[in-house]
A and B are shown apart, each in its own frame.
Chain A
Amino acid sequence: MRLTLNIWRQKSPTDQGAMVRYSLDNVSEHMSFLEMLDVLNEQLITKGEEPVAFDHDCREGICGMCGFVINGVAHGPRRGTTVCQLHMRSFHDNEELFLEPWRAAAFPVVKDLVVNRSAFDRIIGAGGYVSVPTGSATDGNSILIPKAESDMAMSAAACIGCGACVAACPNASASLFTGAKISHLGLLPQGQPERHARALNMVAQAAVEGFGNCTNIGECEAVCPKGIQLENIARMNRDYLVGAITYREPQAEAGAG
């Protein structure tokens, strides 16, 4: 099949960037989207041009490295799929495609379709952890967890941090990501000690990073390759609000030491 590709080319974080048009022939419908870009890049290199930079790693849809916006939809037209697992059979001959990087102030473009997602790491650093005893290993299954809760925590833990939720959100909000991380730890007994502090700190960090607010429109849930649900955002809001209302400064008058 034959494709017309309009790809965002940006040399560096400070470069202004622009859409550049490419024609690509003999695209096999069995290629993944990234393999199709590999073919384009081979041609560009042969011609002495700069290849299109894009993030990728496992190409199995589980690492969260790849991702860009295809025709205005994060990760392209197939639901529950990252771009590496999107195949060219999802497109038709002579189709014109627009490829753009995730666009958010908190995700500065590094080059072409590659963005810097360190902001997500800093949100995790602000509270995406649990405290564990460092003594001898505890017995497995010594903490009982109801099936329903572990299911919800596992669903939230499926988030691979690709950033599609931010890309699809008209407010560039990181609520689905942050909500998933808060839910995944906050639903489990091990996550209880830091539960409200976690919500307060992670939400605050997301704001510091420059992500927008959630307007509950649901585009993030629709593009999420891992099916993270909007309910996680409600849980984040709940933990944040309860945490903010019941917050008290640590006092160690009796127990200090």
Chain B
Amino acid sequence: MSSSATSPARTARMFDAPVAKKAVMALSGLVLFGFVLVHMLGNLQVYLPPGPDGRYALDVYGETLHKSALVLWGARSFLLLTALAHIVSAIQLAQLKNAARPTAYVKQTAIVSTYASRTMYWSGPIVLAFLIYHLLHFTTGQAHPDFQHMHVHENVIKGFSVWYVSLFYIVAMSMLCMHLYHGVWSMFQSLGLAHPSYTPKLKLAAKAFAAIVAAGNISIPLSVLAGLVK
């Protein structure tokens, strides 16, 4: 058993094991899920009427978030590092997956797994591509023809008035929904938390949260296109 893992170098390798990488996926996924949930709730302020000073709630909210450069960049760096950890682990695990099954089946039939769970390696990169576009669209403005810094509400309305931009947002949010549909439950299993009483409820809650995040975000481009928000 020369290749067995009892050598002193094991301590260093413990966090290299697939189980540890999955724990990284789970913990970074938890942070990112928390972010998209709060982000969606923040976005819903687009529906609030302008305040007595005529300013949009979304603009005031944006200003609040930008108040302290330290907090803003601290949060941005933390989220970026978390996303990087999620992506790097995903790439490493994908390489492992490909090496573990070099010859594909002529015929392979899935019998119980959900479509969402089998397509995590697709929904993830699509959400990442969307994320890059989304930052260029609403944060830095290069992908937005009428971008005005800190005029969040106006940027949103003008941005979503273009139907194909809205369509891309809706497709991307559906992908995010699928990713969360499996991921929000899966992270508990990866961290070793499973129990016959709680796991079914957890799966249900994960699906509900996935749907809520997607529905909240999708409602915005739809409302803009329908002319419900101006």
| Chain A complexes with chain B | yes
- Closest-by-CB residue of A relative to B190 is A237
Query: Nearest Cβ in chain B — how far from A250, in angstroms?
Result: 10
Is B65's beta carbon under 8 Å from chain A?
Answer: no
Given that A105-B102, A217-B113, A233-B189 are contacting pairs, would A247 and B14 also be in contact in the complex, using a CB cutoff of 8 Å?
yes
- Closest-by-CB residue of A relative to B26 is A237
Given that A71-B109, A208-B3, A231-B196 are contacting pairs, would A216 and B189 also be in contact in the complex, using a CB cutoff of 8 Å?
yes
Given that A98-B107, A212-B18, A244-B15 are contacting pairs, would A105 and B112 also be in contact in the complex, using a CB cutoff of 8 Å?
no
Is B228's beta carbon under 8 Å from chain A?
Answer: no
- In whole angstroms, what is the CA distance A201 to B3 when docked? 11
Is A4's beta carbon under 8 Å from chain B?
Answer: no
Asked if residues A234 and B193 are in contact (CB atoms below 8 Å), the reply is yes
Which of B164-218 touch A at CB < 8 Å?
A: 182, 185-186, 188-196, 199
- Closest-by-CB residue of B relative to A106 is B100
Asked if residues A122 and B19 are in contact (CB atoms below 8 Å), the reply is no
Is B136's beta carbon under 8 Å from chain A?
Answer: no
Given that A98-B107, A103-B105 are contacting pairs, would A235 and B192 also be in contact in the complex, using a CB cutoff of 8 Å?
yes
For B100, give its contact among A69, A204, A212 (CB under 8 Å). A212
Asked if residues A240 and B199 are in contact (CB atoms below 8 Å), the reply is no
- In whole angstroms, what is the CA distance A174 to B95 when docked? 16
What 0/1 readout, one digit per residue, does chain A (218-257) give for beta carbons within 8 Å of chain B?
A: 1101110000001101111111111010010100000000
Given that A205-B4, A216-B117, A247-B14 are contacting pairs, would A71 and B23 also be in contact in the complex, using a CB cutoff of 8 Å?
no
Query: Nearest Cβ in chain A — how far from B103, in angstroms?
Result: 5
Asked if residues A104 and B18 are in contact (CB atoms below 8 Å), the reply is no
Is B69's beta carbon under 8 Å from chain A?
Answer: no
User: What residues on A are CB-neighbors of B104 within 8 Å?
Assistant: 103
Which of B116-164 touch A at CB < 8 Å?
A: 117-118, 120
Of B5-13, B38-46, B49-57, B75-83, the one contacting chain A is: B5-13
User: What residues on A are CB-neighbors of B21 within 8 Å?
Assistant: 213
- In whole angstroms, what is the CA distance A126 to B3 when docked? 10
Residues of B in contact (CB 8 Å), total 53
Which of A111-153 touch B at CB < 8 Å?
A: 122, 125-126
For B1, give its contact among A98, A126, A213 (CB under 8 Å). A126
Interface centre among A6, A106, A217 (most CB of B within 10 A): A217
- In whole angstroms, what is the CA distance A31 to B117 when docked? 37
Asked if residues B186 and A215 are in contact (CB atoms below 8 Å), the reply is yes
Is A24's beta carbon under 8 Å from chain B?
Answer: no
What 0/1 readout, one digit per residue, does chain B (14-33) give for beta carbons within 8 Å of chain A?
A: 11011111110000000000
User: What residues on A are CB-neighbors of B192 within 8 Å?
Assistant: 234-242
User: What residues on B are CB-neighbors of A210 within 8 Å?
Assistant: 99-100
Asked if residues A237 and B100 are in contact (CB atoms below 8 Å), the reply is no
Asked if residues A247 and B191 are in contact (CB atoms below 8 Å), the reply is no
Asked if residues B4 and A125 are in contact (CB atoms below 8 Å), the reply is yes
Is B222's beta carbon under 8 Å from chain A?
Answer: no
For B18, give its contact among A8, A126, A214, A218 (CB under 8 Å). A214
- In whole angstroms, what is the CA distance A246 to B23 when docked? 16
Is B96's beta carbon under 8 Å from chain A?
Answer: yes
User: What residues on B are CB-neighbors of A218 within 8 Å?
Assistant: 112-113, 117
Is B97's beta carbon under 8 Å from chain A?
Answer: yes
Given that A200-B14, A214-B18 are contacting pairs, would A231 and B194 also be in contact in the complex, using a CB cutoff of 8 Å?
yes
What 0/1 readout, one digit per residue, does chain B (80-97) give for beta carbons within 8 Å of chain A?
A: 000000000000010011
User: What residues on B are CB-neighbors of A172 within 8 Å?
Assistant: 97, 100-101
User: What residues on A are CB-neighbors of B15 within 8 Å?
Assistant: 244
Asked if residues B4 and A126 are in contact (CB atoms below 8 Å), the reply is yes
Given A100-B107, A214-B190, 6 further pairs, Cβ under 8 A: A69-B105, A213-B96, A237-B23, A237-B189, A244-B15, A244-B17
Footprint of A on B, CB under 8 Å? 1, 3-6, 8, 10-11, 13-15, 17-23, 93, 96-97, 99-114, 117-118, 120, 182, 185-186, 188-196, 199
Footprint of B on A, CB under 8 Å? 6, 8, 19, 69, 71-73, 98, 100, 103-106, 122, 125-126, 170-173, 200-201, 203-205, 207-208, 210-219, 221-223, 230-231, 233-242, 244, 247, 249
Which 8 residue pairs are nearest across A and B when measured between Cβ atoms?
A: A238-B192, A204-B5, A72-B109, A212-B100, A234-B194, A213-B18, A217-B113, A172-B100
